[in-house]
Each structure stands twice: as structure tokens, then as C-alpha cells.
């Protein structure tokens, strides 16, 4: 299933180069657009975060068409009323309908972890989730972690430890790390962290720095609480 594929009945809108989202994205690249274009996706996330001062507006689709279901999703604190077909996948709805493209699609089969986000504070693979199943749920994506310009401790630690190369797996890594650091059942030693994060594959092999970042963030989160 492709992101930009039309007419497969997946309930996913197609990508249009002239759409406001595209313009907003280009604008968000701003003066240092060239640098941003070559920087890892992670850096782009941080930069987009900076210029996106206004929060994502709540979306209300109105009455559902035949074959659609109306659902309510609270994403990063904003409540949206959306009409989706039964086969619409949560990952695609967030990326293509709500234009929250921080959550990535890697394998689309539950194998890589790029699509990891939090549903009611639990980390799950959004590529193996139907949007309709999540009616009423609270969802946190990478876009919802920072507090304005203040990065979440895990984001800050990834930044400082250079815990990425291409950056494609990074938002999934960070979301898993946030869940793990908030879970008392998971040990704090390196082996436990590696095991708990093994569902987040990094093609670039940045694992050493990812582990360092997670362990560093643990200290920062303790300090904060």
C-alpha cells in the first residue's frame, strides 16, 4: 500500500503538490531551506516545530458519506472529528489527513517501528492499527512531545548524542524511548533498553548513539520530576 496511491479504497487522501500542507512545509524550511533539505529528517522536525507556532487546527469532517464512519481522535491534545473508511490505517490518517508527517512509514507491516506512536500512553505500531478502532483514543505523535520550543528531554538527548544518520527511524525511536523511560517494568540497564527497543530498526545502524541518548534522557527526566 502506497502513501500516494489513489483509488485503492483505503480512505486516504492523495498528496497534492499544490496543497496548503505542501506550501506550509516548504515555508517552514525557511531561509535555511537548503541546509534543512540536506539535514536529517530529525533536524527538519525540529525546524518545522519552530516555525509552526500555531497549533494544528481541529478538523471536523461533518457528516460521513456512505461507507465511512465518523471517529473522534485526540491527537497531541487537539480533538478531531474525522470520517474514514473501515480500512483506513491510523498511520495514513495521521500523515495524509491531519498532515502530521512526523510519524514515518517504513515497512508498513509491523516490522520496523518507524510508525511507533503512543495510544493512551502505550507505544504501538500505527501501521497495524485501523483508525476506526481508535475512536475516542488519545494519540501522541512526535509532533506532540515538545512544549513550544522546549524539546522533550528525549528529543534533546537524541539531538546532543547525534542519535541518527538519515533520521528516518528517529521519530519512532524517540516515541519508543519515551514509553520505555516511563515504564517502571523495564530495567534501566543497557541490555534491558536494547531489548525493549529492538522493535525499532535503524538502517543506518545508529544504535550506539541511540542507546547513549536514551540513557542520558533517563537522567534528565529524573532530574525534571
Partner 1 sequence: MHNFDYARADSTRQAVSSHGPDKQAAYLAGGTTLLDLVKIDIMRPEQVVDINRLDLKRIETLNDGRTRIGALVTNTALARDERIASDYAVLSEALLSGATTQLRNKATTAGNVMQRVRCPYFRDGVSNCNKREPGSGCAAIEGHNRSVHAVLGTSEHCIATHPSDMCVAMAAIGATITVEGPEGQREIDFLDFHLLPGDTPEREHALKPGELITHVTLDAPLDNSRSHYLKLRDRASYQFALASSAVIVTLEGDTITDARVALGGVGTRPWRAHEAEAALKGQKATEATFQKAAGIAFKSATPYAHNAFKIPLGQQAIVRNLTTLTA
Binding site for ligand FAD (CB under 6 A): 110-111
Give exposure, 7-38, as e/b (b: 16+ Cβ within 10 Å).
eeebbbeeeeeeeeeeeeeeebbeeeeeebee
CB 110, min distance to ligand FAD, A:
4
- Give me the 26-65 binding string for ligand FES, x by CB under 6 A, dash otherwise: ----------------------------------------
**Minimum CB distance to partner 1, residue 18 (Å):** 27
C-alpha distance from residue 149 to each of 23, 36, 49, 175, 209 (Å): 22, 17, 7, 18, 23
Contact 173/209 with Cβ under 8 angstroms?
no
By CB under 6 A, name the one of 32, 50, 111, 188 that touches ligand FES.
111
Contact code string over 146-185 relative to ligand FES, x by CB under 6 A: ------------------xxxxxxx---------------
For residues 82 and 103, give the distance between their C-alpha atoms in angstroms, rounded to a whole number. 19
**Minimum distance from residue 116 beta carbon to partner 1 (Å):** 6
102 contact choice in ligand FES, ligand FAD, partner 1, none (CB below 5 to 8 Å, kind-dependent): none
127: its cell numbers? 501501521
Give how far the C-alpha of residue 211 lies from the chain's centroid of Cα atoms, to the nearest Å.
19
Amino acid at each position: 500500500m502506497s502513501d500516494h496511491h489513489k483509488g485503492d479504497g483505503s480512505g486516504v487522501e492523495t498528496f497534492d503538490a499544490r496543497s496548503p500542507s505542501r506550501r506550509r512545509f516548504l515555508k517552514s524550511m525557511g531561509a535555511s531551506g537548503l541546509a534543512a533539505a540536506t539535514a536529517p529528517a530529525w533536524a527538519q522536525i525540529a525546524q518545522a516545530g519552530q516555525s509552526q507556532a500555531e497549533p494544528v487546527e481541529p478538523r471536523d469532517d461533518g457528516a460521513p458519506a456512505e461507507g465511512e464512519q465518523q471517529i473522534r481522535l485526540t491527537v497531541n491534545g487537539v480533538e478531531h472529528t474525522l470520517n474514514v473508511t473501515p480500512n483506513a490505517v491510523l498511520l495514513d490518517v495521521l500523515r495524509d489527513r491531519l498532515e502530521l508527517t512526523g510519524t514515518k512509514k517504513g515497512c508498513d507491516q509491523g516490522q520496523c517501528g518507524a510508525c511507533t506512536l503512543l495510544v493512551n500512553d502505550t507505544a504501538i505500531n500505527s501501521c497495524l492499527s485501523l483508525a476506526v478502532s481508535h475512536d475516542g483514543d488519545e494519540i501522541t505523535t512526535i509532533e506532540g512531545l515538545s512544549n513550544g520550543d522546549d524539546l522533550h528531554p528525549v528529543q534533546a538527548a537524541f539531538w546532543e548524542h547525534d542519535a541518527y544518520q538519515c533520521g528516518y527511524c528517529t521519530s519512532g525511536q524517540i516515541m519508543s524511548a519515551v514509553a520505555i523511560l516511563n515504564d517502571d517494568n523495564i530495567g534501566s540497564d543497557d541490555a534491558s533498553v536494547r531489548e525493549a527497543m529492538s522493535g525499532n530498526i535503524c538502517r543506518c545502524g545508529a544504535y550506539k548513539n541511540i542507546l547513549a541518548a536514551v540513557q542520558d534522557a533517563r537522567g534528565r527526566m529524573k532530574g525534571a520530576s
